[in-house]
Amino acid sequence: MSQHALPEWLISLWQDITARRDRLPHALLLTGAPGSGKRLFAEQLCAALLCQHPDSDGFACGQCNACHWLASGNHPDVLRVVPAADQEEAGEEGEGAETPTKKEKSRSSQIVIDQVRAIQSVLEVGAGGRRVVIVEPAEAMNVAAANAMLKMLEEPGQGTVFLLVCHAPRRLLPTILSRCQRIDFGRPSAAQVKNWVAGCGIKDAEALLGFCSGLPLLVERMHQQGLDEARRQFATELVRLPNSDPLKLAAQWETRLKAKDADERGLSLALLISWIQRWLADGARVANGIAPRFYLDYQTELAALSNGRSEAWTACFREFHTYRGVAQHPLNLRLFLEEMLLVLHRRTTVVRR
C-alpha cells in the first residue's frame, strides 16, 4: 500500500498517529462528519497495526501473512462491533437478495450489550500481542452496551487498541469520551479539494461536490455506486418533464428502484425524494437570482424551467416534505411515484401566469 490509500488531506494526521505507533493510547475516538474519512483512516490504521512489515510511511505492506489474513476477513485479532442492521447489509453484498430492507428493518440499528460482552470474552482469552477493536458507529451503543464498553476501556488488555468511529460525539457518555484520545476529522481545504478534483478522474466531480456537502470521499462513494450516473439521468428527465408523460416516467423509476442492485447501490425512494427536494430548492433559488447549491451543472436549465416562479417552486418543495415522511413504506410504489410526478409536473411546469 502507499500514501494513495488515504487522500492528501489526511496524510499529516496519519504521520502524527503512526509516528507514535508503539506508544498509541489504548483508545482513539475518530470523529467527524460522514464522508470526512474517519472510517477509511480507522481501517488503514488497523491494517498498519497488525502488519508484520509496515512500509516507511507507516502503511500496511499488503504482502505479509498478517495482511493476507486481514484481507480474507478472518483475522482473529480484529474485533468489530457494529449494529446488527449494518452487519446484515455487509453480509448480503453481491448476493442480490430480494428483501434485504425488510430483514434490515427487523435488525437492531443499535449496538447492544451482548455484542460488547462477546468482545470482552474474546479479549479475556489469552493476553499479549496486538489486537484492534473497531466500534462503528460508537454512538449506536445503547446505555447498557456503553457501560460495558466503559469497563473494558478502564481495564484495557496489553496490546489492545480500541478505535471508536463516531459521527456524533455528543451522544457518547462523557465517561467514554474521557477515556479516549479524540481525533477530529475536519474538511479538506479549498486547495486540497481543487487538487483532488484535478486528479480524481470522475466526470462532473466539481458539480458533484455541491451535491455531497463539499466532501470528496462522498463524491467517490457516489461514483463507486453509480449514483453519479443516476443523478445525471434523473436531472435530464426532470429537465424534460414539461414535455414528457409523468406516468411513463413513474414506470421507469419503479423499474430502477426495484432493480436487483438498487439496495446495494443505496438507490431508494427516500433518496429520489431528497433529490427532487434539492431540485425544487435549487429551482426556487435560481428563480430568485441566487446560484444553485446542489445542481451546479444545471443552472441554465433550472432558470428556464422555474422562469422566475420562485413561490410555486418553494410551495412544491414544502409539499414534498410530506412525501418524505411516507417514503419508507409506500403502500404501492408505482401509484406513489405517479402521484409524486403528477404533482411535480403540475406545480412546476404547467402553471403559467
Sites of contact with Zn ion (CB under 5 A): 51, 60-61, 64, 67
3-state helix, strand, coil in the chain (%, to 5): 60, 10, 30
Cell of residue 174, nine digits: 462523557
DSSP state string for 261-323: THHHHT--HHHHHHHHHHHHHHHHHHHTT---SS-GGGHHHHHHHHTT-HHHHHHHHHHHHHH
Residue 217 Cβ, how far from Zn ion at the closest point, in Å?
24
Work out how close the CB of 240 gets to Zn ion at its nearest, in angstroms, rounded to a whole number.
52
Smallest gap, in angstroms, from Cβ of residue 10 to Zn ion?
20
The gap between the terminal CA atoms of the chain, to the nearest Å, is 62
Q: Give ∠ CA 108-113-119 in degrees, rounded to 5.
A: 110
The residue (of 63 and 175) whose beta carbon lies closer to Zn ion is 63
Residue number, 51 or 280, with CB nearest to Zn ion: 51
Cis-peptide, bond into residue 156, ω within 30° of zero: no
For residues 53 and 203, which CB has a smaller minimum distance to Zn ion in the complex? 53
Sign of CA dihedral 263, 81, 160, 166: positive
Measured from the CB atom, the residue of 67 and 284 that comes closer to Zn ion is: 67
Dihedral angle, C-alpha 116, 120, 122, 125, nearest 10 °: -170
Shortest Å distance, C-beta 3 to Zn ion: 16
In the complex, the smallest distance separating the C-beta of residue 51 from Zn ion, rounded to whole angstroms, is 3
We find the least distance from the C-beta atom of residue 59 to Zn ion, in angstroms, to be 9
Cα 17 from Cα 100, distance rounded (Å): 38
Name which of 75 and 285 has its Cβ closer to Zn ion.
Answer: 75
What Rg do the C-alpha atoms of the chain give, in angstroms? Answer: 23
Is the Cβ of residue 51 or residue 135 nearer to Zn ion in the bound state? Answer: 51
